[in-house]
A and B are shown apart, each in its own frame.
Chain A
Amino acid sequence: MSSPCSRRTFVSSLLATGFGLAGGRSDPVRASSQPLRFGLTPVVLDDRIGFLAAWADWIERQLGRPVVFVQRSRYREILDLLLQGRLDLAWICGYPFVRNLSRLDLIAVPRFRGRPLYQSYFIVGADSEIQRLHDLEGRLFAWADPDSNSGYLYPRFRLTSDGRDPDRFFRRTFFTWGHPRSVEAVAEGLADGAAVDSYVWETLARGHPELTAQTRVLERSPDFGFPPIVAGPALSEPDRQAIRRVLLSQVQEAGGRALLNELNLDSFSIETPDLYDDIARMAGRITGGEGA
């Protein structure tokens, strides 16, 4: 799904450098080992360099191996790097995951508000006169990322189900390449509406209430599997087990719990790929999803 996929500008500063934080971190135990390359899509954390450093630090200590966060502005870039083996694992959206099910392995799924699920929110300006989804017809609409479930696949599916052509329903659409940016676009009046990741919107509401207060949730989608952390072909099975163990145990350790709290997540859990069947079904019915 979407949210982590194209997370927003926060990270943009990080993204700009291309690498995260962990570069110089040396592991006391196995200093010579190759760093674990962890791909991130623009998440809520974009301006949280300190947090990412702390998280990388924490994983490093648990894993006994350096961790490097790699960030890109497009979800597609992270996915390509992952599939090419230039990343070991990545936090991606459920939508690209189901499209590359055969080559990606589910490591862990974050639990948000007690469940490994999230939704897509249709949002409009707080003082907008729009009351129903169909009021958005002929308006300006912001997509998050073409590889996002909540910010692209689901809203297109929703309109298609109503017999509308998502490419003609709106007067003009554009991509913001990140859910937080979509929230900004609606808040600042650039777009009349947008579809965003509920986790991102809720987390923003916690950290930047003044921003989300300028938007109003028009409609909520059914639940979908939360954007998962997946391993690419480059990561060996023992390493997959190791990182899975670390992530699953994060909630049991005080420092890890604090980091999860920063992420606005409860924990990481192990799930089966059928969590994403709904997304796969939508993807099967929408061909446009491949767009962009």
Chain B
Amino acid sequence: MILPLSSYRLRLPLSLSIAAVVTAFSMAAALGLQTLTNLREDQGRNALTLGYAMAGVQIQALRNDDVWLAYSLLRGPEGGGDAVWILLDQTGRIFASNRPRRFRLDQHIESALPWLPQAQPQVIDETPGRVSAVDRDEVRRLLRLPLYSDGSQVGELIALLSDAPYLPRFREILLGGVLVTGAILAILLPIGWLWGRRMVGPLVQLAECMGRVGREDPRRMQCPLPDGDSEIGRLGQQFAAMLSALAQKESLERQMIQAERLAAVGRVAAGVAHEVNNPLGGMLMAIDTYRRAHPVDAQTERLMDLLERALRQIQASVSALLVEARADLRTLTRDDLEDVKTLAQPNILKAQVSLTWENACGSAIHIPAAPVRQLLLNLVLNAVQAAQGGGHVEVRIRTQDNQLMMRIENSGRAIPPEQLMHLFEPYPASRPHTQGLGLWVCYQIVSQLGGTIRAETQGEITRFLVALPLAQESPA
């Protein structure tokens, strides 16, 4: 892919490389300049030493008019070396030089070097040799050494010092710098590239993840986020915290919506319940009256009990729809649970479903009987309906850790995840054909009992897990 120049994946290794190059060149330049300074100092010192060493013989050469002696001395073993040497006689004419073609014998120095400052009238001083800086004709420094014999000046020795001899060394230093830089770059570039990727990778992840916020449900967003103690790691952690806060907010909102719906449904239910409760009360009273007025045989007695429990279930169901509805606080018994099995039996047969029923509860369970009966019946009927046509339903009930645990699972079509989310809503849009209030009422009951209910699917199996807290031993 083509990365824009603004990408840190490019900028990081590039910055590293530029830093390396700048460093290497700065080092080379600093070394070079330092070397140059040292070399210049050495050159000046050497020239001065040489000038002093030659002075005596040059004075003699001047006195004896021995041009060759002066010349051969200036010429030295290597043609004079780096510096240009000029010997002037008393009248300022060139007597000898190691550049004889440039500085002709007998030529006046003023015509040879017009820029040369006029020699000041010298106070008689036996050691006025000095090196001063000039910058003309590639001459960088100038050594002027007046030659004295017996108190009077007989000539002057001039050395023109240039940087030319150092250029090759400079080139070497520069070449060295370039080579070192190249070597460093060869190492740094791949490292920088990898480092850049490592550093920038988490940022890219984060950026991608952030881009998804608002488009996806934060509760279900799967983001690989950077971790660790680095700044980016902290950023990732903060972002993860933000995501979870978002998810929390989302579910809170959903719960609020659910509560509002509950309230609306509750109001409807309250009206209905009021209408239902009156005749229901009459029917229960009629059964009661009948029992008191007539002796009943055993079969009639069982029928009466069944009728009464069914009527009370209706009463309790209606109560369950009402937030303020108060069911009877009769304590749940094992029979209540077994009743559910009996009550569901017709549906089970009709739906051709096999049932596994496992009730591991003791006789008395400290929890209101009516809502639990309603809850269990609803869930079992719901499961039977889902497993319709040769499916299987399994119910397991037990108490554990002071909780009543119920597990109802069925085979059949799996519930898609998006439906699973709206499962407990009343009259869910995704399931218009089902009885709308079933799971909604279950949810309500569980909520009122302070418990939890959740649905999960596992392959073909749909499972409802209910946990209801039991009241403390104090009998209601």
Cross-chain contact B68 with A181 (CB below 8 angstroms): yes
Cross-chain contact B68 with A172 (CB below 8 angstroms): no
Cross-chain contact A177 with B68 (CB below 8 angstroms): yes
- Which residues of A sit under 8 angstroms from B189, Cβ to Cβ? none
Cross-chain contact B68 with A174 (CB below 8 angstroms): yes
- Which residues of A sit under 8 angstroms from B100, Cβ to Cβ? 185, 188-190
- Bound-state Cα–Cα, A181 to B65, Å: 16
Q: Is A140 an interface residue (CB 8 A)?
A: yes
Cross-chain contact A174 with B104 (CB below 8 angstroms): no
- Which residues of B sit under 8 angstroms from A140, Cβ to Cβ? 104-106
Cross-chain contact B106 with A176 (CB below 8 angstroms): no
From 100 to 114 in chain B, residues with beta carbon under 8 angstroms from any chain A beta carbon are 100-101, 104-106
- Bound-state Cα–Cα, A100 to B424, Å: 146
Minimal beta-carbon separation of B105 from chain A (angstroms): 5
Cross-chain contact B71 with A190 (CB below 8 angstroms): yes
Closest to A188 in B: B100
**Which of B66, B72, B75 is close to A175, meaning CB atoms less than 8 Å apart?**
B66
Interface of B is mostly: loop
Cross-chain contact B68 with A175 (CB below 8 angstroms): yes
- Bound-state Cα–Cα, A174 to B68, Å: 7
Write out, one digit per residue, whether chain A residues 163-182 have a CB within 8 A of any chain B CB (1) or not (0): 00000000110111100010
Cross-chain contact B67 with A174 (CB below 8 angstroms): yes
Closest to A173 in B: B67
- Which residues of B sit under 8 angstroms from A191, Cβ to Cβ? 105
Interface size class of A (residues with CB under 8 A): 10 to 19
From A171, A174, A185, residue with most partner B Cβ within 10 Å: A174
Minimal beta-carbon separation of B283 from chain A (angstroms): 142
Minimal beta-carbon separation of B96 from chain A (angstroms): 8
Closest to A176 in B: B68
- Which residues of B sit under 8 angstroms from A142, Cβ to Cβ? 68
- Bound-state Cα–Cα, A174 to B67, Å: 6
- Bound-state Cα–Cα, A140 to B105, Å: 7
- Bound-state Cα–Cα, A190 to B100, Å: 5
Q: Which 4 pairs show the lowest CB-CB distances between chains A and B?
A: A174-B67, A189-B101, A190-B100, A172-B106
* B interface residues, Cβ below 8 angstroms from A: 65-68, 71-72, 75, 100-101, 104-106
* A interface residues, Cβ below 8 angstroms from B: 9, 140, 142, 171-172, 174-177, 181, 185, 188-191
Subset of 20 A-B contacts with CB under 8 Å: A140-B104, A140-B105, A140-B106, A142-B68, A171-B106, A172-B106, A174-B67, A175-B67, A175-B68, A177-B68, A181-B68, A181-B72, A185-B68, A185-B100, A188-B75, A188-B100, A190-B67, A190-B71, A190-B100, A190-B105
Other than the given A172-B105, A175-B68, 18 more pairs (CB < 8 A) read A9-B72, A140-B104, A140-B105, A140-B106, A142-B68, A171-B106, A172-B106, A174-B65, A174-B68, A174-B105, A175-B66, A176-B68, A181-B72, A188-B100, A188-B101, A189-B100, A190-B100, A191-B105
